[in-house]
A and B are shown apart, each in its own frame.
Chain A
Amino acid sequence: MRCRKCKGKAVLDVPRHHTAFCKACLTEFVCAQVERAISEERMFTKADRVLVAVSGGKDSLSLLDILGKLGYQADAFYVDLGIGEYSRQSKAKVERYTSARGISLHVHELKEDEGAGINDLADLVHRPTCSVCGTLKRYHFNRTAVEKGYSVLATGHNLDDEAARLLGNVLHWQTEYLEKQGPTLPDSVEGFAKKVKPLYRLAEREIAAYAVVNKIDYIVEECPNAQGAKMLLYKDILNRLESESPGTKQAFYWGFLTRQKTDEQARPSMAEHDRAVLRPCVTCGQPTTSEICSYCKLMARAQKNGPTPVGS
């Protein structure tokens, strides 16, 4: 197979675009898609300081790599969830990547700051691990970005992540979540960082190929807690559809975004809505829709049920 752009030896076929790329043209394609996402969705500019939430996986490390190539000011933030060998390996990959390139890395240690790893915390509060993980990560991503003065927080969510999440939300008619499924969420109120997903135009396979071609040493192993996760099932179903009909995932998610933009003109903006419903948590001051935010509720419950004091 030859590269459609330069006729060199192809390393990846991209059926959804009826094309194939060699190493250099794949890197160029990926960077161009990210640059387009940043500019079309008004995510940030070269004057902004961007905090990238990294896990040691292909998406977040590739995002950090691409932003560096494109000349953006990007630092990294890693949450150590304390999942045994998996966390040790993923943290080591993040540290190696950032130190080799002189990128500032901020780390939050769950075991030190919350007093327990994610699995123990989930047991204490009797909630699914992935749900507790989501609450903790969202809280610390926002808090760290705001406290350390970054104008925007970027995550490595890709087209497959967003299409799978959309499928899950639609299947269960979780319409309240649909509004927050865009690639840019505004910094509507004091204490809220702007959140962006610059990889939303790229399929998971394209990003993995970018990581391999650019020799990014990422953790291939899956989080042990993700086994049997619904997201994996939704992704598998979407990939079956994609194999039969290339372009299905982008038609589904991008089509949703187009409709969302049309609807926006007819109703209050997300920022207006946020300003109407959000107020500071009475415990920690972070924006929340109730008196106490989900994180503080979770930590209070963990403290109540814990055999030993759990940090705050």
Chain B
Amino acid sequence: MKVLLNHPLREVEVKGPRRVREVLQELNLLPESVLVVRGDDLVTEDELLKDEDRIEIRPVISGG
């Protein structure tokens, strides 16, 4: 699947099918620090992502 990451903006490929929590683990990201968006929708950690999916991992932490 295609995974869009921010800060800096880049795209990486992750093999599916995989649960959201497994994708985050593979990319070494804390679930508390990000949201996962597929299309217009947020998806939870237990969601199964297919190989043909395209997701955005959006950071939620700002410098304040």
A-to-B contact residues, CB < 8 Å = 1, 10-13, 20, 57-59, 130, 157, 160-161, 164-165, 203-205, 207-209, 212-213, 215, 220-223, 225-226, 229, 231-232, 235-236, 239-240, 242-243
Interchain residue pairs with CB less than 8 A apart (11): A58-B62, A59-B62, A205-B34, A220-B6, A226-B64, A232-B63, A235-B61, A239-B30, A239-B61, A242-B32, A243-B30
Q: Considering only CB atoms, which chain B residue lies closest to A155 in the complex?
A: B64
Interchain nearest-CB distance for B62 vs A (Å): 6
Q: Considering only CB atoms, which chain A residue lies closest to B47 in the complex?
A: A1
Whether the pair A12, B58 counts as a contact (CB closer than 8 A) is no
Known: A1-B44, A1-B45, A58-B62. 4 other contacts (CB 8 A): A59-B62, A212-B42, A212-B58, A221-B6
Whether the pair A220, B63 counts as a contact (CB closer than 8 A) is no
Docked Cα-Cα span, A208 to B62, in Å, equals: 11
Q: Considering only CB atoms, which chain A residue lies closest to B64 in the complex?
A: A161
> Is B35 part of the binding interface, using a Cβ–Cβ cutoff of 8 Å?
yes
Docked Cα-Cα span, A209 to B52, in Å, equals: 24
- Asked if A209 meets B42 with Cβ closer than 8 Å, knowing A57-B62, A220-B59, A235-B61, the reply is yes
B-to-A contact residues, CB < 8 Å = 6-7, 30-35, 37, 40-47, 58-64
For B59, the chain A residues whose CB sits under 8 A away are 220, 222
- Asked if A11 meets B62 with Cβ closer than 8 Å, knowing A209-B35, A243-B30, the reply is no
The 8 closest A-B pairs by CB, nearest first: A226-B63, A208-B60, A11-B42, A1-B44, A239-B32, A229-B63, A161-B64, A205-B60
For B32, the chain A residues whose CB sits under 8 A away are 203, 205, 239, 242-243
Whether the pair B63, A11 counts as a contact (CB closer than 8 A) is no
For B43, the chain A residues whose CB sits under 8 A away are 11
For B37, give its contact among A160, A212, A235 (CB under 8 Å).
A212
- Asked if A20 meets B44 with Cβ closer than 8 Å, knowing A208-B60, A222-B63, the reply is yes
Whether the pair B63, A236 counts as a contact (CB closer than 8 A) is no
Whether the pair A13, B33 counts as a contact (CB closer than 8 A) is no
Whether the pair A208, B58 counts as a contact (CB closer than 8 A) is yes
- Asked if A240 meets B30 with Cβ closer than 8 Å, knowing A1-B44, A11-B42, A220-B58, the reply is yes
